[in-house]
Structure 1
């Protein structure tokens, strides 16, 4: 079984589109009918995120930790208990390509670090800041970017590396660093495609939104 892990904190505006694309990826013919369990980890949600997740029929796990590292770790633990051999991670403000899971698995690695493509640029992000982003980003195989919105890990490698640490930000970076220390085979690929929001109200301090904001003031 394949597990898809999505941490959620007050994402009622974007969650539906995320889940639509994840479910489409879960039904790709090249998966040969392998079961895919989609899990939305609802962390301290006070909006309609839970109702949206339930309307899509995905599994949910409700927490009140307000910590993305703890949320991802709890979700991964649940997926592993259900028998997942592979955990694919994305974010609730992102959408995945129809062959996202297929592309991750086809790389034959212990872990896959994929790239992200910005969606419609936020109105506050001027052209100069957009150019700075593009100049500093490597959307190619062999890149060294790490995004929780586009990350895949085998169950064996995940457990060997000790899982997601309880960090409020950069839990994905720390996990990949631990994977490297364990000698995991990591594919740095632009094959699995994810599009992510350019909103500036980041759900995690120091997250992607804060990085985009820093480009505005650069």
Structure 2
């Protein structure tokens, strides 16, 4: 927490920065540590105790961001920017400014890339992270060829997690806020923004460093993925990912949906644009077959297709 607050105090921005810390079910002095660590930012710390069935990432993030909305409204802001992060991140000094630039360029939400910290990390983790990043970069390059999205052009990353997610206040409210679900609340929020026609940008200049702990409390979160990577590294198991053919099918279908909407917006009069149309229709279509392949071979095929 002190490292995060120090990083926020180093943000290169003009204008007020409000930081709201929600400390839920804490017994380690988190709230007091936060209050003592803050120096040059407007800080509010809210302490809550949630019943076991509600003590999860979705409920906590929902309470935190909704409290942020109320704080902004108290101060008379009809619209502003909400940025979510986690207590174990350390964003660079340009993090907020870069997020604001992307929003000022016409986007409604901005996801930040998740990076490893500068501190020493195990070789297996850096190597695995590099392989995974290369694979997803190839997927996104293929997307640029098959289904380009004007508001989110290459170069771009693919992260929009709670560790770095900026939204306009109006986009957040229109989406209905953070769904209070046990896990995956950040992706669910972004999906809701897109169902409303919101433009989500993955600007490569927006990123934050996260911890490499493997004991995270959110099921299915980054810590879970790192435990899986460790197992693969230690056992020599194949690192399987969806193959290039799967992505060709996914991206081709998305492109077809955009073309159909452009030809006849009357297909969905309640959709404000093709973003909303794709976000609403795609989940209702039959699931596409997922064929898995070892990550190195899948990446090589994707890169060949792009070339």
Normalising by structure 2, we get a TM-score of 0.60
Cα distance in 1 for partners of 2:196, 2:161 equals 20
CA separation in 1, counterparts of 2:193 and 2:90? 25
> Post-superposition shift, 1:203?
2.4
Which of 179, 182, 185 matches 1:168?
A: 182
Aligned counterpart in structure 2 of residue 50 of structure 1, from 31, 37, 53: 31
The answer for the alignment partner of 1:133 in structure 2 is: 129
Counterpart Cα distance in 1 of 2:185 and 2:130 = 24
Partner of 1:185: 199
Partner of 1:115: 113
Structure 2 residue corresponding to 1:71, chosen from 60, 66, 74: 60
3-state SS of 1:213 partner: helix
Q: Say which SS state the counterpart of residue 217 (structure 1) adopts.
A: helix
The 1-side partners of 2:156 and 2:198 are apart by 16
Instruction: Confirm or deny: 8 A CA contact 2:110 2:160 kept in the other structure.
Output: no
What root-mean-square deviation, in Å, do the aligned CA atoms of Structure 1 and Structure 2 show? 1.8
Tell me whether 159-168 or 75-84 shows the greater mean CA deviation: 75-84
Offset at 1:141?
A: 3.5
Higher strand share: 1
Q: What SS is found at the alignment partner of 2:5?
A: helix
State how far apart, in whole Å, the 1-side matches of 2:159 and 2:17 are.
26
2:10 is the alignment partner of 1:24: yes
What residue in structure 2 maps to residue 82 of structure 1?
71
Find the counterpart in structure 1 of residue 45 from structure 2.
60
SS of residue matched to 2:62: helix
Structure ranking higher on relative contact order (CA contacts 8 Å, 6+ apart): 1
TM-superposed CA distance for 1:92, in Å, is 0.7
Bigger helix fraction: 2
The list of structure 1 runs, each at least 4 consecutive aligned residues, that deviate by more than 4 angstroms after superposition, is none
Would the aligned equivalents of 1:198 and 1:209 in 2 still touch at CA under 8 Å? yes
Q: Which runs of 5+ in 1 are unaligned?
A: 1-14
Give the number of aligned pairs. Answer: 196
Q: SS at the partner of 1:107?
A: helix
**Which among 83, 100, 103 is matched to residue 98 of structure 2?**
103
State the distance in 1 between where 2:131 and 2:203 align: 18
